[in-house]
Every structure is written in structure tokens, then in C-alpha cells.
């Protein structure tokens, strides 16, 4: 029987983030392949193979070849238990990704060797920096023509504002790509393009071993030694503490599609990445080793199983041991709840779990009890925070196209909004419903899911709106005066809080100047 501490030490919970198309979902697939969790990797975009990527299981994801919702996958690798959270790369779903980052202990960033660092990656890196989350970078697609590895390293440092240290190094690139030298373990891996099988490893003693010359040829071997000498000269020794504090990012090179360089990444990752860390609650710091269970809901997903209209709340275990059927306190409602069927995930294949440890993600069937950010504990009153909803940037009126199906629309809208993909406001002036999102694609996803999962048809009507901001004031008269003057632009959110819908930046600034006693918030966490 393993102790709580042993279980915590073998957990590695991380998210994979990147710009769309850098190969994030493919990398996730290959990590699962090594974990023995799947036996054949599905090419994400190929129509020839009808096996789609394991982590993209919603209908719309299969059609478009992009990840829309964060999926959670757990598997064992050697003595480690690995929990991967695959996040949507598309920027319209950035909010889902920001929230996911609150539930992980480290992050792997995937960068395309030809495109380098893209805007979305920069934004996500900022979130990691705010939380001092340790980062490993995987430079992908080396079997395609791309840029010089040294150039990529410089760009990573400049754009992501973090020191880097290569732990593997490519021999050529593109058509001439021959393999990778593993600096961390001093071994050489030769490349053979094959999507299902792993390439061969050449046993060598050190970088001067003549077996390298036999394997890749004298010219490339000489260049490799020259490059490595330069790396040792330019970059400081790899320091695990600096990595864990988020100061240095180790860099690996490979080709996820060809399952190359992935095992090196995984082997090094499980050794250096941190086990679950203490989490700050509002009341105090909570360490994973505490006996008492605590955890928070960081995501809610409607319709994991289209045959049953079920919602699932994803709970990140922060401390103690979660047990099935044990009574836990739901802090916001003050109720004691028991969970008869908590689940663990392998994409949408889920299995009932009897216990879970810090770092694990547990799925709890949700009948409308949970909201994102809810805390569950063994009884202590704790509040975990740091799960913001940002002020939306795009707004549309949502109208029912089929009066016979208004109940379905109502239900579907409620469940999809629970997921936090978008926010719903009701205009106080005309009672119309307004949906706010951070990107255009979300409107399509909502419309598609309402139709296919709830049988409800909706149509969007344009609304030109600059920003929604939450308002509050200690001075009730000032608040009432503001609401009276702006009554056409006042709405309420799902929690009944006052929201001011400003139709331009100028109007918002004037409102802030004219009503100094009001506070205007651009994130729902205040």
C-alpha cells in the first residue's frame, strides 16, 4: 500500500500549449502511444484514416481538425502517473486554456521550426510567467525545411522572455534531417521517417565516439561536435532548480508526426518536472501532503456522452486523497455532497475511480451544482481563486429560430454557458439575450453544438458593442444614478451582477470620468 507522499511524488500534471497547427495534438497522441494508452496514432488531419486523434472527440473537432475543448488524459509511464491536459491552440478558445493553466504544475510548449514563435504562444507564455510555471519547449517538424536551430533558440529567448538550454540537438534539418543527439543522456538517435514506429538508437560513450561518424558521416559528425561545443560555451549548464522556478526552459528537437524525439522529451520530462506543488487558497497555502482532501473545479463540459445529456465538472485534486462516496463540503452552497460515480479520463473513454491523489483530475457528474472555480474540501472552509472570466470582445444577440424548441435552446444555452466557453448577458432594457465571446469561431461552435447536441436552432443578430464591464460601488445612490442614466446599456450576467455594455471606448472612458465612485471591472473575479 503506497503512502500519500509516494503517490504525490509519482504524479506529473502538465498542459501542452501552442499556436494552432504547431503539432500539439500530434505530440499528445505520441506521448499516449509511449504510455501504452493507445496502440495506433490517428493522423489528425488525414481523411484516409478514419481514426481521428484520441484527444479530439467532439464532432466539430473531428470535422475541422482543431481542438476546441481541453481534454484530460491520464496514463502510467514507468513508475510515474502522467496527467496531460491538451488545450485548444485556437485563439478564440484562449480563455479555456488560461483556466487550464491554473490546474497544472508544468507546461510543454510546442513550436513549429519553420514558423517560430507566434502571437498566441507569447500570450500563453505570459500566463506561465505570472504563475512561475516551469516550461519545456519542443521544437517540432524538423523533417520539414525550417530555420537554423541557433536562430530558433535566439528567437525563443527574445520572444518568450525566458532563458533557454537545449537538451537535444538536431543533425541537419528538412530533407537532410538525420537524427538528434540527446545532450541530456549523451546518446544518438537516428531518424527513419515512420509514423508508427520509433527510430533506432545508437549506443555511444560520448560525443567524440567514432560510432557517430559511421552513423551520420564525417561531415555531419564534425558539424555536430562544433555545434555542441558552441552550446556548451554559450549556454550555462542545465540547472533543474532554475527550470522549476520558471527561469530556464529546456529545449528539445524532433518530429512529433514521425514519433521522433518524443521519447527523449518524455524520459527527461518525468525526471525533471515537478510533482504537484502547494496551492494558494484565499485563507492559506495548502500543501499536497495534507491529510484532508481539497480541490477546485477548473472546467465544466456539457455532453461528454451525447446519449445522455450529462455535464461533467473537472476537479483538480490539490491536497489529501479523494475517495468515492466520501462526504465533501461544497463551499459555495455549504452543502455536503457524495459522489457515487467519479471518473478518470482517457479522452472520452472514462472509467469510475475509487480514489485520486493530488495532481489528478477527477470528473464529477454535474446536474447544475457546480460553477467554474468552486472549491470542494473535507470540511475546512477554503476558497481557491485564480480562475478569471475575461471581458468578452465580440457580442451578438441570440434568437430562437424554432419557437417549438425554446425549452431545448434554453437548456442547451445554460449548459454551454456553464462550460465557460462564452458568457450570457440579459439586456435590462429589452430583455434580449446577448452572448459575448473572445472570438468569432465560438459563435459557430455554439450554434453547431446547440443544433447537434440539443436539437435547438438559433440565429445570431449583429450587435456593435465595445466592451462588457462589471460595475460595483459602495455608494448605492451613485450606482442607481448610473443605472438610470445608462438603462439602455445595462445588462445582468448569469449571477445577476450588473454589467455595463459600452458601445465604444469613448463612451466607456466618459462613464469612468463621470462616475468616479463606480468601479469598472474587466474580469469577473473581483
Instruction: Find where cell 469613448 sits.
Output: 506
State which H helix or E strand residue 64 sits in.
Answer: helix 59-64
> How buried is residue 285: exposed, middle or buried, by Cβ count under 10 Å (0-12/13-18/19+)?
exposed
* Of residues 520, 497, 410, 495, the one with CA closest to residue 456: 410
Highest mean pLDDT among 130-134, 169-173, 469-473, 522-526: 469-473
Q: Which residue has the higher pLDDT, 119 or 385?
A: 119
Based on its alpha-carbon atoms, the radius of gyration of the chain, rounded to whole angstroms, reads 25
Q: Are 220 and 203 contacting, i.e. CB atoms less than 8 angstroms apart?
A: no
Q: What is the pLDDT of residue 112?
A: 87
Q: Which CATH class is domain 279-377?
A: alpha beta
Q: Are 190 and 202 contacting, i.e. CB atoms less than 8 angstroms apart?
A: yes
What distance in Å separates the CA atoms of residue 270 and residue 184, rounded to the nearest whole number? 13
* Of residues 497, 488, 494, the one with CA closest to residue 463: 488
- List the domain boundaries for the chain: 4-272, 279-377, 394-521
What distance in Å separates the CA atoms of residue 202 and residue 212, rounded to the nearest whole number? 8
- In 354-370, which positions are buried (b, 16+ CB within 10 angstroms) versus exposed (e)? eebbbbbbbbbbbeebb
pLDDT confidence of 306, banded at 50, 70, 90? Answer: low
> Do 394-521 and 279-377 have the same topology in CATH?
no
Q: Are 494 and 417 contacting, i.e. CB atoms less than 8 angstroms apart?
A: yes
Q: Please, what is the Cα angle at 61 between 58 and 67, to 5 degrees?
A: 105
Q: Are strands 11-18 and 80-86 parallel, antiparallel or unpaired?
A: parallel
First to last CA, the chain: 44
Instruction: Find where cell 449571477 sits.
Output: 495
> What residues contact 417, with CB distance under 8 A and at least 6 apart?
423, 424, 494
* Mean local confidence (pLDDT), 460-488: 89
Q: Are 254 and 140 contacting, i.e. CB atoms less than 8 angstroms apart?
A: yes
**Which 8-state DSSP code applies to residue 237?**
P
CATH classification code of 394-521: 3.30.70.3280
What distance in Å separates the CA atoms of residue 301 and residue 99, rounded to the nearest whole number? 13
Instruction: Find where cell 480562475 sits.
Output: 387
What distance in Å separates the CA atoms of residue 425 and residue 421, rounded to the nearest whole number? 14
The tens digit of pLDDT for each residue in 399-432 reads 988 888 889 898 888 888 877 668 899 998 888 9
Fold of 4-272: Rossmann fold (3.40.50)
What distance in Å separates the CA atoms of residue 65 and residue 60, rounded to the nearest whole number? 8
C-alpha cell belonging to residue 122: 507569447
* Ramachandran region, residue 368 (left: φ > 0; alpha: ψ -120 to 50; beta: rest): left
Q: Are 71 and 83 contacting, i.e. CB atoms less than 8 angstroms apart?
A: no
pLDDT confidence of 453, banded at 50, 70, 90? Answer: confident
Highest mean pLDDT among 37-51, 69-83, 119-133, 264-278: 264-278
* Mean local confidence (pLDDT), 64-81: 67
Other C-beta atoms lying within 10 Å of the C-beta of residue 242? 17
The tens digit of pLDDT for each residue in 128-180 reads 887 788 999 999 888 888 888 889 899 999 988 899 999 888 888 777 777 88
Q: Are 189 and 179 contacting, i.e. CB atoms less than 8 angstroms apart?
A: yes
What distance in Å separates the CA atoms of residue 319 and residue 279, rounded to the nearest whole number? 9
The HSE-up count of residue 245 (CA atoms within 13 Å, CB side) is 7
Q: Are strands 343-346 and 423-427 parallel, antiparallel or unpaired?
A: unpaired
Q: What is the pLDDT of residue 348?
A: 46
The tens digit of pLDDT for each residue in 231-274 reads 888 888 888 999 998 889 999 988 888 878 888 888 889 999 99
- Predicted TM-score of the model (pTM): 0.73
Amino acid at each position: 500500500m503506497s503512502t500519500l507522499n509516494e503517490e504525490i511524488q509519482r504524479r506529473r500534471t502538465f498542459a501542452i500549449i501552442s499556436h494552432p497547427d504547431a503539432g500539439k495534438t500530434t505530440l499528445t497522441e505520441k506521448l499516449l502511444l509511449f504510455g501504452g494508452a493507445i496502440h495506433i496514432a490517428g493522423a489528425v488531419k488525414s481523411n484516409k484514416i478514419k481514426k481521428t486523434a484520441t484527444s479530439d472527440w467532439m464532432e466539430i473537432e473531428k470535422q475541422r481538425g482543431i481542438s476546441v475543448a481541453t481534454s484530460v488524459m491520464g496514463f502510467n509511464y514507468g513508475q510515474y502517473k502522467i496527467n496531460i491536459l491538451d488545450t485548444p491552440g485556437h485563439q478564440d478558445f484562449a480563455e479555456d486554456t488560461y483556466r487550464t493553466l491554473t490546474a497544472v504544475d508544468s507546461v510543454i510548449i510546442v513550436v513549429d521550426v519553420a514558423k517560430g514563435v507566434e502571437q498566441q504562444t507569447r500570450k500563453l507564455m505570459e500566463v506561465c510567467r505570472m504563475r512561475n510555471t516551469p516550461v519545456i519547449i519542443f521544437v517540432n517538424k524538423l523533417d520539414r525545411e525550417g530555420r537554423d536551430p541557433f536562430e530558433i533558440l535566439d528567437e525563443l529567448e527574445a520572444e518568450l522572455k525566458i532563458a533557454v538550454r537545449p537538451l537535444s540537438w538536431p543533425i541537419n534539418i528538412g530533407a537532410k534531417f538525420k537524427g538528434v543527439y540527446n545532450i541530456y543522456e549523451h546518446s544518438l538517435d537516428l531518424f527513419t521517417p515512420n509514423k508508427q514506429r520509433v527510430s533506432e538508437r545508437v549506443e555511444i560513450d560520448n560525443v567524440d565516439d567514432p560510432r557517430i561518424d559511421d552513423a551520420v558521416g564525417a561531415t555531419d559528425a564534425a558539424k555536430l561536435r562544433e555545434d555542441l561545443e558552441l552550446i556548451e560555451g554559450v549556454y550555462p549548464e542545465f540547472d533543474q532548480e532554475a527550470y522549476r522556478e520558471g527561469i530556464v526552459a529546456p529545449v528539445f528537437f524532433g518530429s512529433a508526426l514521425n514519433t521522433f524525439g518524443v521519447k527523449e522529451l518524455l524520459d527527461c520530462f518525468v525526471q525533471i518536472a515537478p510533482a504537484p506543488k502547494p496551492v494558494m487558497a484565499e485563507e492559506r497555502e495548502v500543501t499536497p501532503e495534507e491529510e484532508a482532501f481539497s480541490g477546485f473545479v477548473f472546467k465544466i463540459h456539457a455532453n461528454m456522452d451525447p446519449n445522455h445529456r450529462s455535464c461533467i465538472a473537472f476537479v483538480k485534486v490539490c491536497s489529501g486523497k479523494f475517495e468515492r462516496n466520501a462526504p465533501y463540503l461544497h463551499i459555495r452552497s455549504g452543502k455536503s455532497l457524495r459522489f457515487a460515480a467519479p471518473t478518470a479520463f482517457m479522452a472520452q473513454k472514462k472509467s469510475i475511480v475509487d480514489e485520486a491523489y493530488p495532481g489528478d483530475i477527477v470528473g464529477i457528474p454535474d446536474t447544475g451544482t457546480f460553477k467554474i472555480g468552486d472549491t470542494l474540501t473535507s470540511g475546512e472552509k477554503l476558497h481557491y481563486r485564480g480562475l478569471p472570466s475575461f471581458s468578452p470582445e465580440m457580442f451578438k444577440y441570440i434568437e430562437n429560430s424554432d419557437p417549438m424548441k425554446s425549452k431545448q435552446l434554453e437548456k442547451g444555452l445554460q449548459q454551454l454557458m456553464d462550460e465557460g466557453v462564452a458568457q450570457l448577458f440579459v439586456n435590462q432594457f429589452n430583455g434580449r439575450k446577448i452572448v459575448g465571446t473572445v472570438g468569432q469561431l465560438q459563435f459557430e461552435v455554439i450554434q453547431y453544438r446547440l443544433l447537434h447536441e440539443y436539437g435547438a436552432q438559433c440565429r445570431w443578430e449583429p450587435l456593435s458593442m465595445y466592451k462588457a464591464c462589471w460595475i460595483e460601488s459602495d455608494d448605492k445612490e451613485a450606482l442607481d444614478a448610473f443605472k438610470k442614466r445608462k438603462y439602455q446599456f445595462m445588462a445582468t450576467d448569469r449571477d445577476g451582477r450588473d454589467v455595463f455594455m459600452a458601445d465604444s471606448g469613448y463612451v466607456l472612458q466618459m462613464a469612468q470620468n463621470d462616475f468616479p465612485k463606480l468601479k469598472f471591472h474587466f474580469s469577473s473575479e473581483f
